A and B are shown apart, each in its own frame.
Chain A
Amino acid sequence: MQVTGTRRTVRVRLTIAAWITILILTGAFQFYRAAVPDAIAFLAMAAALVVGETGLLRRFDRRPWHLRRLVVGALLAVDAVVLLFTPRHGFADGIAIAVSGVLVFLVAWPNHPTQDHPLPPWTPRLTRAAIAWAILGIAFCIWELAMYFLGYGAEGRTEYPALSDILDPVLNNPVGRFVGVAAWLAGGIALTRRGRTAP
């Protein structure tokens, strides 16, 4: 029993290390792109997780943030208005998204009381789904990186467009921007609600 518990602890720690590694690698790539604020965000989250693993931030674990629906609705409305009606890549957009990020971090950081119990085991159903989604995710990353690096050259970035090259003109269109903003906000709401109950 002790050996099984130790093996599970090692597996959990390896999983945590894997997620932190993903953040570090992504942050490093953002430095390569010379996107310094982006890199800082990823590396700051990696650092926060590392510090969290030491137990230094344990005091924040039992104070989950429960924002009232009215507050969430108001924040969503402000975000939507700013992102839709102020100039794209503008200062107001930066403030809105930065503040949204901080709030989402504060909501997502504390472990919910149901998460204090041992994690439920990986069932065959979950494992099959995880493998399938991991294959799709890795394939997407490889394709995106391939297009990104192949797209550089004297001809410019049109020969092998990365996803950003394809979506950028779409988001310059009012309808495309509306869909993009709605999708981003809806995705944030959906993701912040995940992981709160054991499957």
Chain B
Amino acid sequence: MIGTIGFAIEGIAIVALVLWSYREQHRFATFGELLDRVMSTRAARICILTFWWWLGWHFFVAQTVDPAIVGR
């Protein structure tokens, strides 16, 4: 339960930050603008897209849930 609540809080924070950035555009760059700047370097571009690719691999191809390991 606590894990789900934590992720829910994170999700709400992300939505709030997106909305705040659109409301305060004169002081705060939007997520898209930030990505444009960050991903203008190849290292950031490849790193971020690798994580995107891995999300697909992890949830649709590989074993998604790691088995419980007793005694660890």
Please give the residue numbers on chain A whose beta carbons come within 8 Å of chain B beta carbons, in ascending order: 12, 15-16, 19-20, 22-23, 26, 33, 35, 37-38, 41-42, 45, 48-49, 52, 83, 88-90, 93-94, 97-98, 100-101, 104-105, 108-109, 111, 114-115, 119-120, 122-126, 128-130, 132-133, 136, 139-140, 143, 147-148, 151-157, 160-168, 171, 180-181, 184, 187-188, 191-192, 194-199
Contacts and interface: CB of A to CB of B under 8 A. Distances in A.
Contact of A136 (B13, B27, B45): B13
Contacts of A128: 27-29
Contact of B39 (A120, A157, A195): A195
A74 B39 CA distance: 26
Interface of B: 2-4, 6-7, 10, 13-14, 17, 21, 26-72
A195 B38 contact: yes
A97 B56 contact: yes
Contact of A191 (B27, B35, B58, B63): B35
B42 A109 contact: yes
Secondary structure at chain B's binding surface: helix, strand, loop or mixed? helix
Interface centre among B2, B4, B38, B51 (most CB of A within 10 A): B38
B46 A105 contact: yes
Contacts of B29: 123, 125-126, 128-129, 199
A89 B59 CA distance: 8
B52 A191 contact: yes
A47 B51 CA distance: 15
Contact of A119 (B41, B46, B54, B56): B41
